[in-house]
Amino acid sequence: MERVLITGACGNIGYAVRQFLADRYEFVPVDVTNRIHKTTHHRRPLTQGRLDPEVYICDVRDARRVRQFMEGCSLVFHLAIMAPHERHYGRGSKHDDPDRQSEAQAATWNINVAGTHNVLKIAKQSGVRRVVLASSVQSMWGYPEGTAITSGMPLLAGRTAYALSKAVNELQAEQSWRYHGLSTIAFRIGCAVPHRWTYVRRHKIYSDRVVLTSLEDIASAFDCAAQADVDHGVFALLSRNDDSCWTEPMDETRRVLGWEPKHWFRDDGVATLGGE
């Protein structure tokens, strides 16, 4: 099996990718903690769960450690992120503190942008054949709500440092491919959730329903990206959603990568596509 460095391995997405693709790849999982994150609510911080002894401690900002664990890997799944809950700032909450806000934004920028720079640079130096990385639909959230997104639209990030960091990382990935010959594929991932409708209903994830992405669909897309006959691209990654404004980019994802979503988030529940 192909040896794959996966960053953010204890995160919500990273853990799911490892579980769904365990029989496809030999993972080298790294994270700043070896405690599995469990999402209690998509609008609240992650809570720590059980220890995973298979995960190595590595901060993506530490070039020496990244190089150490990337040795012998031919593929990288880069999922390490910092996503402070900036949506609370400026609304009179306990988070509405300029100093705390500045610290959170600086940490987001440092981890997401500088960390990604390290991963891409060391991947090239280490002979990695491809880096598949997580961007976000937020890299396009600067457009008015309800705008139909198309593949040719320029980046226009939302108002948060996290959104801006994801837009910059898409540019870093393109630069690594265009000027350094490193194959890179970035996914603009929607709101990542388990496909169980009870979970979606229990946590009232309705405002994000048109950009819901099941964890299993994310894992299968990363698998397709790893094997696709394409050197570079930025692709939307959503499960099927009713009333989505991402229809055209999703058509491109399916056409170029040969990927199909398994789950359909509907008003009356979640359907499994493909007749399974």
- Residue-wise pLDDT for 58-104, tens only, equals 999 999 999 999 999 999 999 998 875 544 433 344 455 677 777 87
| Number of compact structural domains in the chain | 1
Residue scoring higher pLDDT (147 or 6):
6
Buried b (16+ CB within 10 A) or exposed e, 77-92: bbbbbbbbebeebeee
Q: Looking at the chain, list the stretches that DSSP marks H as alpha helix, in order from N- to C-terminal side.
A: 12-20, 63-70, 98-109, 115-125, 161-180, 197-202, 215-227, 247-257
- As a whole number of angstroms, the longest Cα–Cα distance in the chain is 52
Give the CATH number, domain containing residue 159.
Answer: 3.40.50.720
Is residue 259 pLDDT above 50, yes or no?
Answer: yes
Instruction: Give the tens place of pLDDT for each residue, 113-128.
Output: 999 999 999 999 999 9
Place 275 in a pLDDT band, splitting at 50, 70 and 90: very low
Task: State which residues form the domain around 90.
Answer: 2-275
- What was the pLDDT predicted at 194? 87
What's the mean pLDDT when you consider all of the chain? Answer: 87
**Of 127-131, 147-151, 222-226, the least confident:** 147-151
- What was the pLDDT predicted at 39? 53
- Name the amino acid, one letter, at 249: P
Per 3-state DSSP, what percentage of the chain is helix, strand, and coil (rounded to 5)? 40, 25, 40
Place 199 in a pLDDT band, splitting at 50, 70 and 90: low
Is residue 29 pLDDT above 60, yes or no?
Answer: yes
Q: Residue 170 half-sphere exposure, CB side, CA atoms within 13 Å?
A: 23
Is residue 177 pLDDT above 60, yes or no?
Answer: yes
